[in-house]
Amino acid sequence: MATDFLDEIVGVFGDAEIGETGGGHGQKGVEYQRNWAIVQMFVLEEQGVTDFLFLFEAIQDIAVLDSPNSPKKIDLYQIKKKDRGEWSWAGLTKLHHPPDPTKKTKSKTKAKPLTDVANSPLGKLHSAVHSFNLLDSSGRFISNAGCDIAMADGSNAATSLPVALASLPAHLSSLLTAAFITLHKNGAAPPDLSKLVLEKADLPVDSTSTFTIGKAHAFLAKRSPKHAGQSQSFVDSLLAKIGPLGTRTAKCSTFEEMKSQHGYTRDEFVEALGALEGVIDIDYYLNAWLLQLQQEGMGILEVTSIRAAVTGIYRRQVMGKGLPEEVHIASACDEWLLTHEDPPKLMPFFKESLLYLLSKFPFSKPAELQAHFALRAINKCVAPN
């Protein structure tokens, strides 16, 4: 039975009218989709989901399976950014908006062909969801912009929580159902509007990466607090990994090929977290040391100066523009550390080392020397033997 499920996925992927081919979005739209996927991975982890497989640009923009080996459920996502305004009924369905029979109106709406729905966002999403007979399938239209559609209960999809199309008022649901039927083969099951959901995403368009890094920081602060400061590098590594998965256009004849070309699994996500655990977070220890120095009597201005100097060192390292004397300062710090034992308190340790470094580098700022010393001392402590 598992083989039948996998064959069904490959079959839908191979359907030119349903499967994606990659690279069909502008760069900003692609960035939005990838960041949404990473945020969703954090959400699934926090929910305690034990397994998942993300497929990029394979079936709709993103497909999420409940297992990379024996899936039983597939959730399909159309993820669209919108720079201005909200999504209208016509924009989502390419259908006319029939008047509400419960309200009196003199205006008449010109009907559009029901078959126009085939090229609409919801029409494409429905076709993909309806293509699955064995797997439990559902679809979500997700955007930073809301959908300006009044629901049967009087709410509006633009401002409400995620809402299923089954909640549409009768005059809209009947029209949409009739339109969806034009996409079906003879004898196919009727449309199930409860399987399609409209959702407004919290992810903004103009500060996408900042939002994702913030989510990563919150996630790591709970899962691995000492690595919360590495949230940006963690997000960057995930984006680098999943980026190529949405650009591949080669056809896949097996599920394994699909996973290889388009897939990212929970095992890979957990492995990325494990790799993060193996990275020494110097900032974590630096903050602890500076706090200890302050508790031992170092002034807040001096502590702040050291922190600012460390930031400058990091910035120069990233830009590849280290100062010529920095190599010699680091070497002098290492030499001093070799001849001094583990101190019971940090303050005397720092003061004594500063006197030594000033004797060798009299024109350097004390905070700069102390910053170098702190980094070299921490590296000595945490570096593997």
DSSP symbols for 62-121: EEEES-SSS--EEEEEEEE--SSS-B-HHHHHSS--PPPTTS----------GGGGGGSH
Residue 283 confidence (pLDDT): 79
Tell which residue, 198, 52, 34, has the closest CA to residue 125: 198
CB 289 within 8 A of CB 374: yes
The rounded radius of gyration (Å) of the Cα atoms in the chain is 28
Q: What gap in Å lies between CA 220 and CA 121, rounded to an integer?
A: 35
Residue stretches of the chain with pLDDT short of 70: 1-2, 19-25, 105-107, 278-280, 317-320, 383-385
Instruction: Lay out the sheet containing 136-143: strands in order across.
Output: 163-164, 196-200, 136-143, 73-80, 62-65, 53-56, 263-265
| Structural element, H or E, at residue 137 | strand 136-143
* Partners of 75 in beta bridges: 64, 138
* Partners of 137 in beta bridges: 74
Q: What gap in Å lies between CA 35 and CA 211, rounded to an integer?
A: 9
∠ CA 121-127-132, rounded to 5°: 140
Phi first, then psi: give them for residue 76, nearest 5 degrees: -105, 140
Q: What gap in Å lies between CA 211 and CA 372, rounded to an integer?
A: 32
Q: What gap in Å lies between CA 145 and CA 147, rounded to an integer?
A: 7
Residue 215 confidence (pLDDT): 93
